Amino acid sequence: MNWTLLAIAALFIGPFLIWRARRNAQPVFDAEQMSESALWGYFLILVGAWGLLSLFANPSDLFFLVMMVAAVLALFAKLRGYKAKGNERPLPDWAAFGFSNALVLAAIGLGKTFVIEPMQIPSSSMRPGLVVGDFILINKFAYGVRIPFLNEAVVPVGKPQRGDVVVFRYPMDTRLNYIKRVIGIPGDSVEYHNKLLTINGVKVDSVPVAEYRYSDGAEGSIQAVRMRETLDGKGHDTLNVPGAPTLVPPGVQDFPGREEFCKHDETGFSCTVPAGKYMMLGDNRDNSNDGRYWGFVPDNHLAGKAFLIWMNLGELGRIGTKIN
């Protein structure tokens, strides 16, 4: 589905609905009297603007900005002398929209920006724990209260720990949100050679537990081995595809700190994680675009910690599953 075209369509339909409402509407003096046509028109404009602006900035920041528009309209209307009810002069539709929706939209925007954010899993990089079609919840408060756009923590709460499943802004394109598992924290020496993970000189336990087959679009059916990995005393499952390379050297990008902190070859990679940054890998180790290819995730790219699958329309049994 082309979301950009839908956003453009919303930006055309929204003003049309408002124009039609103005042609047919009687003067209103209370926000509650706003016509449904105009109401939907303004909502479509907000949705369309959010969709188009998402081409240029991270959608999470833009959502906060768009949801606050109604509050700004209500404030501007107040400054112009309008009230939510009992006006002596007709109330403009934009002011009625602001008065009617400011609190609800602001609450949604603040909640999604600072408390909990939903996300849909788009790829198989975190199998077997997370699959395509999972809708998950992210604890935005886990790693501090952050300023939108700057994403700097103004209220420190916690730091990512090894084994956390984290949503973050993709370092190569911060408009995109990625989800991976924290493998290395600042100061760690991380090695992944011949599909064996070592952290600070200690081999991470990983044992096969079952066969695992899944379908992945054009690649068709993939046969893998489900591995039980124990990291800092906490267990989670990863996948190993027999015969697949640990690393494809031509795919390694020229990321900041590559020459200083990392070494790559056909058997894998080794990196020392710099201060203020983290090393992330996908659980589907042989089918994941992760830190081995594009380097480290800075602290100001963190979005939050994934903690729950709240919906999967294709597999209802996954609803309510905690993310380990």
- Residue 192 and residue 123: Cα distance in Å, rounded? 22
Instruction: With CA atoms as reference, report the closest residue to 194 among 242, 150, 246, 260.
Output: 246
Q: Is 60 a catalytic site residue?
A: no
3-state SS, residue 42: helix
- Residue 152 and residue 144: Cα distance in Å, rounded? 9
Measure CA 288 to chain center: 17
Q: Is 180 a catalytic site residue?
A: yes
Measure CA 89 to chain center: 45
- Residue 54 and residue 60: Cα distance in Å, rounded? 9
Q: Is the alpha carbon torsion for 186, 122, 112, 151 positive or negative?
A: positive
The two three-digit tokens of residue 295, written as one number: 């380097």
Catalytic residue among 54, 125, 206, 288, which?
125
Known catalytic residues are: 125, 180
